[in-house]
Chain A
């Protein structure tokens, strides 16, 4: 196991937003191809972690390090991180009126792969992925996330992940707000993504998706930290018992 260099190594990461400490010493190691799930209460800092990984300028790293593919990326702008093979499916993808999905996807794939892809080849690849994710053709000519339903936005996020094929895909509640059929489709997408080379960090509130996507590790996130790590059985336990027992299991005084 330890023979390989980890894909991502987060050590003692402290992050603040607008002067407020949100992440308070996160430690997490992800090896190539692994699937990690993070579960935790609302407001515990899961999205803060995903934004920080991707390099959102609002999040300030006060301490600790993020080593991705052997390099500290804490100072890199988001596009450099994307080019290195990191990607984030947003919990709340933003709408960009006027920018069509197809233009954007081509620009993005070109940027990440570092070369122009022939239009025909790109079309074929795109169509194949769209078929897999049951994304309708008309999406391509629509503006990014503009007027998309919640579920449609999530599908578009996964579509981007399958096109960009990052080394690490951070999926922030991609399963939230999906109907059962959509959940299956999106899970298929995640599973095609989660291969030997692509690792997945899946942030979720629900055991449901983990029935389709089997995590190697489940982490419990609480007050800006990972407080417990286990195998996939941990998610079932959380589903049954909630988060309180984890808190109680920790030091009697709780977590600061």
Chain B
């Protein structure tokens, strides 16, 4: 019985399976996942994968699982957060806007629809495209990334996911501009949200996807210590010769525990670009695994983390070179103000078959606050003998000579630091293939530095 105290009740799962018009295989899958969930102990920070995450502080029994059963509607008015994002990314981009109460869509592109592109909330997709989704969501078709192994939070999402988005781009269809999926956790506290995003880019197709998670910060900071959980699962499938540029921006409220699991799969000569921008939250725990499954598959993963206050970040990346002749790069840049901390664990894995792998991993940490702390742990698991693998990590304060140079030109130490941090990130962000993303991220970074 001890477990039920610190857990999410089964009634929630029943509620979700009852209220939605989901295919039978999904109901089974949810219940199975929930059973396993109950059996598995809550992780603790002794687990390598949960270092620097204070899971204990989260009392699952106090959380209200959001069962948002409202139907996807056309947005009557463009939400401000969408307008702000589109100012940089380009006007009139198709979007989905999800809050705990509602799901709205806007700027639906009829031309894309006529080409067979599907971009809708996951709930709508389950109702209308169940067969297509079963290829990715049915229990026998689920991928098994490292983070899915006996992981309580992963299973939690599997059983309770109840919002999110679906993008399907058919063979040889090219999306010239991004689509936008925005999740706002609103002003509520003590809630648990389980988004799930599935992106499928078929052979020879091309897509850009922007995922934004925000909260109504003004309302949620300060008064209450009640925590919320945002536990997301994101799966991308890049087909042969296909290309996906994925940009994830998260800026959670100071009481949010955010767990995010990203699984990417790239087929023959396909290429994936994924940038993760983490700008806030109480604790952020993120796993990103990229499986390069067929020869010629390429991935380019970038991360920008800006911590402040007591925020804790933990990023695990895995570049898994399953097939021969694949290549991957990872560039993670972390800047930490105040007493914030970060742990980066980066694994390069090359299977026995992964000959001629070309893999690069870099993690740079800029410690701005005197109590800031960063760990960087590279991990190489290489079974092939003909590979090119390079990795490097740095942890240190901002360069004093750079600060002096800028100050000698009249900038205050704060202004100098800001310029240096923006520059530190810009090198990673500027060449982000999502149009307009560079400027957008720069301005979000500047906002956070000022706050």
Contact = CB atoms under 8 A, between A and B. Distances in A.
B422 A94 contact: no
Contact of A108 (B411, B413, B422): B411
Interface string B330-352: 00000000000000000000000
A98 interface: yes
Contacts of A45: none
A98 B429 CA distance: 10
Contacts of A235: none
B425 A98 contact: yes
Given A94-B402, A96-B402, A96-B420, A78 B415 contact: no
Contacts, number: 80
A80 B362 CA distance: 37
Interface string A157-176: 00010001000000000000
B404 A57 contact: yes
Contacts of A81: 408
Interface residues of B, number: 23
Nearest to B400: A57
A77, A111, A143 — most chain B CB neighbours (10 Å): A111
Nearest to A107: B411
Interface string B384-411: 0000000000000001111011111111
Interface in A68-99: 77-79, 81-83, 87-88, 90, 93-94, 96-99
A112 interface: yes
B412 A99 contact: no
A55 B409 CA distance: 12
B407 A78 contact: yes
A17 to B, nearest CB: 13
A82 B409 contact: yes
A98 B424 contact: yes
A170 to B, nearest CB: 10
Contacts of A90: 405, 408
> Closest 3 CB pairs between A and B?
A98-B423, A111-B410, A99-B423
18 contacts: A54-B408, A58-B400, A79-B410, A82-B407, A94-B399, A94-B402, A96-B405, A96-B423, A98-B420, A99-B419, A99-B423, A107-B409, A107-B411, A107-B419, A108-B409, A108-B411, A111-B411, A160-B409
Interface of A: 54-58, 77-79, 81-83, 87-88, 90, 93-94, 96-99, 103-104, 107-108, 111-112, 143-144, 160, 164
